[in-house]
């Protein structure tokens, strides 16, 4: 009797381990179809926020092995899983991670999930704006450094021995062009730094007042 119960526990554990692997797999093989706990699969799909069309893929896979998914069990399990997925807190974390909005939630749960998602998404966009501006400033500073190097080379050429007058005039003209470019880049950096200050203030405000 004890041996029988032990075998049952081992068999159940094997099924659970098998189903856990399915989350990273888009198809089911023969053994998976034969051993499938459709309520559990539905539950896992619901928790993962997968579309109801997912069961159609299982149906195609298992039809090759003369197995028909238990749609009622799958739908019941998925509904249970969606109750965990479609929370305001989970919506917030998905939005804050930059994940896409999945329209899978039942009407009764959609509102809270959407509010959480929008709040998280707002923080994600604010953080992305700060990161982008940091990157833009870095690029402008690199461009400015390159222009400064060019300017130094031309200044050295300008005072070099034996330089012809027409070449000297050309270098002076090029130096003037470089200076204008440098002034333009410096202005862009100043403007970006003002933008960054505003963006960082908004990000700090959202971070301090996050609801989840």
Dihedral sign, Cα of residue 29, residue 23, residue 87, residue 97: negative
Assessment of whether the complete model's pTM goes beyond 0.75: yes
Tokens of 138: 């870095």
Ramachandran region, residue 100 (left: φ > 0; alpha: ψ -120 to 50; beta: rest): beta
Res. 14 pLDDT band, cuts 50 70 90: very low
Assess whether 135 and 190 both reside in one domain. Answer: yes
Task: Express each pLDDT in 134-145 by its tens digit.
Answer: 999 999 999 999
pLDDT, mean over the chain? 88
Predicted confidence (pLDDT) at residue 21 exceeds the cutoff of 90: no
Assess whether 137 and 200 both reside in one domain. Answer: yes
* CA 16 – CA 41 distance, rounded (Å): 10
Assess whether 21 and 77 both reside in one domain. Answer: yes
Per-residue DSSP letter, 26 = S
Res. 28 pLDDT band, cuts 50 70 90: confident
* CA 112 – CA 73 distance, rounded (Å): 26
* 121 is a domain residue: no
Assess whether 131 and 81 both reside in one domain. Answer: no
**What is the residue range of 154's domain?**
126-208
Res. 26 pLDDT band, cuts 50 70 90: low
Q: Which residue has the higher pLDDT, 34 or 25?
A: 34
Predicted confidence (pLDDT) at residue 5 exceeds the cutoff of 50: no
* 191 is a domain residue: yes
In this structure, the chain runs to a length of 212
Q: Which residue has the higher pLDDT, 9 or 190?
A: 190
Residues 6+ apart with CB under 8 A from 26: 57
* 117 is a domain residue: no
Task: Express each pLDDT in 192-211 by its tens digit.
Answer: 999 999 999 999 999 998 87
Tokens of 190: 């100043």
Assess whether 76 and 11 both reside in one domain. Answer: yes
């Amino acid at each position: 009797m004890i041996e029988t119960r032990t075998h049952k526990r081992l068999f159940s554990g094997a099924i659970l381990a098998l189903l856990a692997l399915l989350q990273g797999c888009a198809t089911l093989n023969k053994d998976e179809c034969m051993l499938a706990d459709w309520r559990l699969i539905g539950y896992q799909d619901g928790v993962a926020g997968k579309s109801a069309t997912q069961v159609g893929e299982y149906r195609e896979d298992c039809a090759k092995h003369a197995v028909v998914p238990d749609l009622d069990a799958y739908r019941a399990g998925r509904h249970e899983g969606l109750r965990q997925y479609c929370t305001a807190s989970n919506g917030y974390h998905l939005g804050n991670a930059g994940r896409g909005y999945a329209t899978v939630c039942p009407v009764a749960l959609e509102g809270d999930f959407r509010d959480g998602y929008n709040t998280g998404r707002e923080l994600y966009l604010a953080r992305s704006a700060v990161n982008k501006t940091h990157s833009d400033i870095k690029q402008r500073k690199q461009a400015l450094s390159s222009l400064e190097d060019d300017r130094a080379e031309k200044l050295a050429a300008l005072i070099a021995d034996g330089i012809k007058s027409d070449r000297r005039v050309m270098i002076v003209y090029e130096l003037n062009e470089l200076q204008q470019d440098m002034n333009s880049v410096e202005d862009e950096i100043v403007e970006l730094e003002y933008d960054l200050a505003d963006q960082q203030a908004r990000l700090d405000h959202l971070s301090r007042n996050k609801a989840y």
